[in-house]
A and B are shown apart, each in its own frame.
Chain A
Amino acid sequence: GNSVTQMEGPVTLSEEAFLTINCTYTATGYPSLFWYVQYPGEGLQLLLKATKADDKGSNKGFEATYRKETTSFHLEKGSVQVSDSAVYFCALSDGMAGGGADGLTFGKGTHLIIQP
């Protein structure tokens, strides 16, 4: 079956540091890949997505590239801010870009803490 593995947290960085959160996956076929973010007290928000190999998703300065050869979708940001403090979830879907009947398969989440 499908699975997603992401680095354990918490990850603590100083403001303006470079961020990488690793995510690897196991799936049959060609899944769509996602990063969701959860700010304290809120629901999961879609941060970015990629639906095929070599696609790069980007949003709010965050980027991730769909690497089929390494089955990875690592999240990066060049200069983090205190407001980026949140829990980040990597996820995949066999379905139509995240919609459709198939549920998302999530990683455990990585708690990111940015210190001023």
Chain B
Amino acid sequence: EPEVTQTPSHQVTQMGQEVILRCVPISNHLYFYWYRQILGQKVEFLVSFYNNEISEKSEIFDDQFSVERPDGSNFTLKIRSTKLEDSAMYFCASAIGEQYFGPGTRLTVT
């Protein structure tokens, strides 16, 4: 069964550094998403992406964040200058109908 994959599973970075989280969506899916879950809190929507551009974004998705689909298979989330409060589990999802989620990347900012 096709699945969404994410790498790395765990990323540790220092405050102020740039990080790129990577996702490979299911191949025939058209919509792509990033969500985050801060420990003990809700899963929160960050951004949706369709036809090579952002469709919707939440107020969390500020200028520090960007998304890209560089090569037709990968879908990346970049955080330009990480802050302590960016520490969270980041989930990628893709959809052609329902959303299918990856296993997540745990980002720890020290």
Contact residues of A with B, CB < 8 Å? 34, 36, 41-46, 49, 89, 91, 96-109
Contact = CB atoms under 8 A, between A and B. Distances in A.
B95 interface: yes
A43 B103 contact: yes
A96 B101 CA distance: 17
Given A103-B58, A107-B42, A108-B42, A42 B103 contact: yes
Interface of B: 4, 6, 30-31, 33, 35, 41-48, 50, 55-56, 58, 91, 93, 95-104
Given A43-B4, A43-B102, A108-B41, A102 B56 contact: yes
A46 B45 contact: no
Given A107-B42, A108-B41, A101 B101 contact: no
Given A43-B101, A43-B104, A101 B56 contact: yes
Contacts of A105: 45
Contacts of A103: 33, 35, 45-48, 56, 58
